[in-house]
Amino acid sequence: MKLTLFDLDHTLLSGDSDALWCDFLIDEGMLERSTFAARNADMEMRYKAGTVGLEEFANFYLGTLAGRSPEDWEPLRQRFLATVVVPRVPRSALDLVNRHLNAGDLVVLTTATNRFLTELTAVHLGIAHLLATDPQLESGVFTGRATGILNMREGKVTRLQAWLTASGQQLRDMDSTAYSDSINDLPLLQAVNHAVAVDPDALLREQAVARGWRVLHLAR
């Protein structure tokens, strides 16, 4: 079986879901621009450099959900998808996903961004399987923290292997391909048979050239 793994942010999506969500909440008047925008930019910069701490990254963005239930957030989540996410998914990204789906591949969207923000994006992309960082709920309310293994760096490989094992499959038995833009996904790209760097950051581009990986540019 062919397994195809897609990162989301800056790979299929022109932008970062977490950073865009924060900008969206600022525009909606739910976050204070003067105090939050700089922290958001710093977090995004350190993520791109591969230097941000895993829990620091996850909990910073999950903190934007804290104190409200999924039902409370649903109208804003739907508007975020329609007005921010969908316009930033290029036709070339949809065509790439559809080529793998039409070929009968097992296609998985795997992202460090939390499940609540990305599950609607997966539906828009036509991808039925999503691996994402899971937000913690207590009494039906987001705590602002993650639960379980974070779907980031080595955690993407751990989560993928656990997901495959649960369905009686093993990564080593599959013809696997992964697409990503980020040096943070180096463990995942090393774990598959075919690694594709999509509009890669500078650090990943160096690795792709050194390892002979394909470099793909999606029209934006």
| Segment 127-169, tens digit of pLDDT | 999 999 999 999 999 999 999 999 999 999 999 999 999 999 9
- pLDDT for position 220: 60
How far apart CA 100 and CA 85 sit, in angstroms, is 22
Q: Which residues contact 88 (CB under 8 A, 6 or more apart)?
A: 13, 14, 15, 20
Q: Which residues are catalytic?
A: 7, 9
Residue type, 115: R
Q: Is 206 helix (H, G, I), strand (E, B) or coil?
A: helix
Instruction: Give the separation between CA 178 and CA 175, rounded to whole angstroms.
Output: 10
For position 75, what pLDDT does the model report? Answer: 97
**What pLDDT is recorded for position 82?**
98
Say what the pLDDT of residue 219 is.
66
pTM of the model: 0.93
Which residue, 6, 46, 1, is CA-closest to 189? 6
Residue 183 scores a pLDDT above 70:
yes
Among 99, 83, 65, 100, which residue's Cα sits nearest to residue 15?
83
Give tens-digit pLDDT for 23-63: 999 999 998 888 788 888 888 788 778 787 888 888 989 99
Q: What is the pLDDT of residue 33?
A: 85
- Name the pLDDT band for 215 (thresholds 50, 70, 90): very high
Structure confidence by residue, pLDDT tens digits, 86-134: 999 999 999 999 999 999 999 999 999 999 999 999 999 999 999 999 9
Helix (H, G, I), strand (E, B) or coil at 148: coil
